[in-house]
Structure 1
Amino acid sequence: MSQQTLIAPSILAADFADLAANIAEVPGADWLHIDVMDNHFVPNLSFGLPVAEAVRRRTETFTDVHLMIENPERWAPEYAAFGNVTFHLEAVADVDAAVALAATLRAAGTRAGISVKPGTPVEPLLDHLADFDLVLVMSVEPGFGGQSFMPEVLGKVRALRTRIDADGLNTLIEIDGGIGVETAAESAAAGVDVYVAGSSVFGKDDPQAQVDAIRAAAAGAVA
């Protein structure tokens, strides 16, 4: 599958007291990104399944859940009604455990993604990419919004793109952290398919215009 350009606004940067209204401000988003944090795997607490379910009921947009939590084997299957569920490689014992959990999620009816922090290499995943629908490369340390983009992670994106294309896989590459117009273009050139954008979208005067601008920058770099 050829490289895609999908924009996924992250509600972590939205107004938690008015999530439905904020979601309505980005009707042209391709995906909606939902960050679940447990204050254990990452040093922050966002929300859990009840809030995520409330969001899902208020949108027709594809829902992309990012679990920044410990013990995803226990909790991830509860999110199977969402479009995609991503958990962290660092939160499971090893790659075999990650492959097994991805299989469980797929069997439950959702896509399965695996995420890596900025300091975690992707090489252990390269022979297992067919077992995942998505690989999320964190371009900031997970746990807080509004951080600056770390361009050094783009080497991981290029390694993933090379293997995905060589093997003819449908696995998507997602990037999350510090994504705006300029960094989306850099990321697209490296091979990203899905762009998670939080503070660069929500809180702006025209969130949908920001989504459109990020998409145009990424698509232009791919072209």
Structure 2
Amino acid sequence: MVNAKFSPSLMTMDLDKFKDQITFLNKHVDSYHIDIMDGHFVPNITLSPWFIEQVKRISSVPISTHLMVTNPTQWIDQLIKIGSDYICVHAEVMNGIAYRLINQVHNANLKFGVVLNPETKIDVITPYIDLVDKITIMTVDPGFAGEKFIDNTLEKIRELRVLRNINNFGYLIEMDGSSNKNTFEKIQKAGPDIYILGRSGLFGLNESIEESWHEMLEDFNKAKSQIL
């Protein structure tokens, strides 16, 4: 089993407690996950590059931007300028521009991630899998918080681990969607490197972010003990 890294999804945080929550999480998390949605790729509109700038004012924790957009080329320059540590694009919109995007991000000394929807097979990213720094497996349908967990997505996490070991690839494996006490055990069995935590797994557990964090760790470690 891999050592877990945690990445809170900031679209599910309590924005009226923005500074207090970020200040606490800065001491505990491995990265922040920031969703940008355009209302076209998914039927929702969420965070923005401006939001990333506000986080960076009070945090040095790495930021991973998840672009749920139809036209990622419209966003890359701005995210590079801001300095998003990871820029992650859906495989479903990368056909014909994949190498250009990857090179553009790497030339800026930033890291490139690719995201796969639940229905998208790993074969789609085979041509450039050796070039990406992170692969995110959506374990729910994208676009909204609170979606139902899709169990068969975990097989892609297992497959990515095997491919990485056989080929000595360098990508991290991340899961995104409904990571909480009800799913921790089966997710851990699949073995991603990074767990994205949303409202059901972190921010909605308690009024206090400190209490929520400790409750999440207790749930996570309890699930881990069931496997060991």
TM-score (norm 1): 0.89
Q: Read off the aligned partner of 2:85 and give its amino acid letter.
A: G
- What corresponds to 2:33 in structure 1? 33
1:47-88 deviations in whole A, cap 9, x for unaligned? 211112111222122211111112112212321202211111
The whole-number CA distance in structure 2 between the counterparts of 1:85 and 1:19 is: 22
Secondary structure of 2:6 counterpart: strand
Matched, 1:89 2:88: no
CA distance change for structure 1 residues 170 and 120 in 2, over 3 Å: closer, same or farther? same
RMSD of aligned residue pairs (Cα, Å): 2.1
- Asked if the contact 2:34–2:47 (Cα under 8 Å) also holds between the matched residues in 1, the reply is no
* Percent of paired sites with the same residue: 27
**1:1-223 map, 5 Å:** 3-26=2-25, 27-80=27-80, 81-94=83-96, 97-199=97-199, 200-205=201-206, 206-213=211-218, 216=221
Give the drift of 1:220: 5.3
- Asked if the contact 1:188–1:221 (Cα under 8 Å) also holds between the matched residues in 2, the reply is no
**Unaligned ranges ≥5, structure 2:** none
The whole-number CA distance in structure 2 between the counterparts of 1:210 and 1:59 is: 23
Give the drift of 1:4: 3.9
Q: Which has the larger radius of gyration?
A: 2
1:16-51 deviations in whole A, cap 9, x for unaligned? 333222223423111111111111111111121111
The whole-number CA distance in structure 1 between the counterparts of 2:134 and 2:54 is: 24
Out of 2-11 and 83-92, give the one that drifted further. 2-11
**Unaligned ranges ≥5, structure 1:** none
CA distance change for structure 1 residues 56 and 210 in 2, over 3 Å: closer, same or farther? farther
The whole-number CA distance in structure 1 between the counterparts of 2:145 and 2:126 is: 28
- Asked if the contact 2:91–2:124 (Cα under 8 Å) also holds between the matched residues in 1, the reply is no
CA distance change for structure 1 residues 203 and 21 in 2, over 3 Å: closer, same or farther? farther
Specify which structure has the bigger relative contact order, considering alpha-carbon pairs within 8 angstroms and separated by 6 or more residues.
1
CA distance change for structure 1 residues 217 and 151 in 2, over 3 Å: closer, same or farther? farther
The whole-number CA distance in structure 1 between the counterparts of 2:123 and 2:146 is: 28
CA distance change for structure 1 residues 193 and 55 in 2, over 3 Å: closer, same or farther? same
Q: Read off the aligned partner of 1:213 and give its amino acid letter.
A: E
